[in-house]
Amino acid sequence: MGSERDERRKLRPYRLLVRIVFWVALLAFITFVLRGIIRHLDRMPSVDQYDRLASVDTRALRACGDDLGRMITDLHRLRARLATDPDADEDVERWEELEARRLAIVARCHLDQPGSDPAEIELAAAADTIEKLIGLTAVHEARFQKEVAPYAEEAAAELERSAAILRSR
């Protein structure tokens, strides 16, 4: 009996360590499960979200989307005109007009502060992408005018001289 008590006293720190590890593991497991449940509940839509979606003016958002679509079309037309007509330098001022139109659409449709409606979020992203597209296209056109246009003009002049030579024969 005495040796059993002595053995229990010797094993007391180990039993205490096993109890601590057990409770820590149990608390970690409970925390993990509760965090998963809370994350799942956070992803679920709330009643406020449904009210917000119902108050969105669908026709206004469609009009904003159409305006942004026309703006992209105008941007492509401007790019094509600048690429085909080397003397179309006056059209470069239209970059500022396009940016002003984009800003007017963003302000009118409140795309600078989109709500939780997916259409508003996508329109705001489209407006931001169009802003980048306008800037990159303007930079691209400036580089084209500076670096590539002289070669295009030189090639056109050479073709014209060769045509003149061939006409004289």
Q: With 60 as the cut, is the pLDDT of residue 90 above it?
A: no
Question: pLDDT for 18-33, tens place per residue?
Answer: 999 999 999 999 999 9
pLDDT of residue 121: 87
Q: With 70 as the cut, is the pLDDT of residue 45 above it?
A: no
What percent of the chain has a predicted confidence (pLDDT) above 90? 15
Across 84-88, average pLDDT: 65
| C-alpha closest to that of 91 among 145, 28, 153 | 145
Question: pLDDT for 59-70, tens place per residue?
Answer: 888 898 999 999
Q: With 70 as the cut, is the pLDDT of residue 84 above it?
A: yes
Of residues 120 and 49, more confidently modeled: 120
Residue 68 contacts residue 123 (beta carbons within 8 Å): yes
pLDDT of residue 23: 96
Across 129-138, average pLDDT: 87
Identity at 43, one-letter amino acid code: R
Rounded Cα–Cα distance for residues 36 and 43 (Å): 11
Q: pTM of the predicted model, to two decimals? A: 0.55
pLDDT of residue 138: 80
Question: Dihedrals φ, ψ of 111, to 5°?
Answer: -80, -10
Find where tokens 């998963």 sit. 36
